Structure 1
Amino acid sequence: MRPSRPARLPRGLAQVTIALLAFGAGNGVAAERSAAVALVVSVDVSQSVDDARFNLQMEGIAEALEDPGVVAAMTGNPGGTLFAMVTWADRAGLALAWRRIATRADARAVAAEVRATPRQSGEFTCVGQMFRTVVASVIPTLPMPADRIVVDVSGDGIDNCTDADSLASDRAALLATGATINGLPILVPGENDVVGAGAYRAPGYGLQATPLPQERIDLVQWYRANVVGGPGAFSLTAAGYADFSMALKRKFIMEVSDMGCRR
């Protein structure tokens, strides 16, 4: 008795199937239908961030991506974790377009790209401009749907580019996309112990009082009031740039695992 032959697919269906398999094999992002979380890491590179501090931030992000706990959280999600990085000062730019981290090798590859990121120059701390860039140029380029979008904002100063009403409007527009905004204020003793009360002047306002908070508050309070927002939003503090990597590891695990708490 001759062995039976496997059933053949109709010619047209077979061609489509082969094409889809080939496309999926060559494109890890396209092979998945969705991801549990899309994480935008948004990094302050303004004048207060010198070369040493910039390198500490890039190394801190790379080290976090190589941390076993972070890798387990990112790769344990269905579809992996989508990752993008924005650097911002006077303007904001997409320093690293969307990457999917579904394996340890993916995480190592993205960490290497982070370490190789050139420094963007800039003088001012334009948080509102960064919010607008994420809304206009980052979220719309997601390569697949994500159950959650998290924007992770780190920096060592308040916005000194935008009036208070415009900043609130820019933040509201980002929250309207369904994103959660988490904060990582970097505290530098003697530099940003107190913000507001004229401690900073916004460019374009000359000798006028800054339109930003007039009361004396600390950077953590300012982040909570003007940056953090959305479902499960929270803020963690880095005790200086040397603590950035350790704080970020904790933060990544909380964000990717959806362990955040309301402020």
Structure 2
Amino acid sequence: MLALTLGGWAGFADAACRQALALGLDVSGSVDAREYRLQMDGLAAALDDPKVRQALMVMPGTPVHLLVYEWSGPEDPTVVLPWTAVTGPQVLNGIIGHLRSLERRNSTPGTALGLAMREGVAHLNQRSECWKRTLDLSGDGKSNLGPRPVDIKSEIEPTGITVNALVIGADAPALGDVRQAEISALSAYFHANVIVGSDSFVETALGFEDYPEAMARKLERELETLILGAAPDLAPARAPGQ
């Protein structure tokens, strides 16, 4: 049934596309089964947030295209939601239900963040016709395998792709100020080594429990950036005198 549903969504792929949004989710060894569930359900909840739903639906003739993949070690990137044009509430509801149904698969413990960036760019290159292309990476740690993220960042900068990040702190409220310091350090790392683009940013979640609200804030901001801006070559022409 899922395969048929996704196949039906793929039929909208030729529609005009205002934004291609690839979401890369960290499933490395530091993310346990509970945190995986919180992350996947958190993304589903964020997509179901009223403000995010409104932003996704505001221009139905030029939909947002979504893709979701999981990443950890060099051999692990896996697409869990192929490119899907969000052409209406029914399609979005299907995406949300699909994300909530996913179960964690086995993955290696490493954190190959640079390769995760390169993976996202490869997917976004399949949507070169979209007005804007955005890579949205979630992670709870620094890279420890593969190419350095800062080197991949320099590869991405000439492409016009925007890379944003959501950094996730440890689920340990008892740590107090230490927890705040850790998330600040990780946020600074992603600022320096990962994000790309003049309007790029890092969102933070103090722990996986805070992930749904942080992801909703980030999605709303990413989608608003395009809605408020103009696509000059695709904007409707005005009649003389207007």
**Structure-2-length-normalised TM-score:** 0.79
AA in 1 matched with 2:154: A
> Match of 2:86?
101
AA in 2 matched with 1:81: V
Per chain length, whose mean CA-contact separation is higher, i.e. which structure has more relative contact order (CA < 8 Å, sep 6+)? 2
Shift of 1:64: 1.2
Shift of 1:168: 2.0
User: Structure 1 residues 68 and 243, CA, compared in 2 at 3 Å: closer, same or farther?
Assistant: same
CA distance in 1, matches of 2:31, 2:10: 39
The answer to whether 1:72 aligns with 2:54 is: yes
> Match of 2:222?
255
User: Structure 1 residues 100 and 47, CA, compared in 2 at 3 Å: closer, same or farther?
Assistant: same
1:184 alignment partner, SS class: strand
> Match of 2:38?
56
> Match of 1:173?
155
CA distance in 1, matches of 2:130, 2:194: 22
1:176 alignment partner, SS class: helix
> Match of 1:132?
118
2:204 alignment partner, SS class: coil
Asked if the contact 2:24/2:138 (under 8 Å) is kept, the reply is yes
User: Structure 1 residues 26 and 259, CA, compared in 2 at 3 Å: closer, same or farther?
Assistant: closer
Larger Rg: 1
AA in 2 matched with 1:111: I
CA distance in 1, matches of 2:115, 2:216: 26
Provide, for residues 2-25 of structure 1, a one-character-per-residue CA deviation record: whole Å limited to 9, x for no partner. Answer: xxxxxxxxxxxxxxxxxxxxxxx9
The answer to whether 1:44 aligns with 2:26 is: yes
Unaligned runs of 5+ in 2: 1-8, 228-242
Shift of 1:29: 2.5
> Match of 2:132?
148
AA in 2 matched with 1:72: Q
Task: State which of 225, 229, 235 in structure 1 corresponds to 2:202.
Answer: 235
The percentage of aligned residue pairs carrying the same residue is: 27
More helix by share: 2
**Structure-1-length-normalised TM-score:** 0.73
CA-atom RMSD, angstroms?
Answer: 2.5
CA distance in 2, matches of 1:72, 1:99: 17
User: Structure 1 residues 173 and 94, CA, compared in 2 at 3 Å: closer, same or farther?
Assistant: farther
Unaligned runs of 5+ in 1: 1-24, 196-216
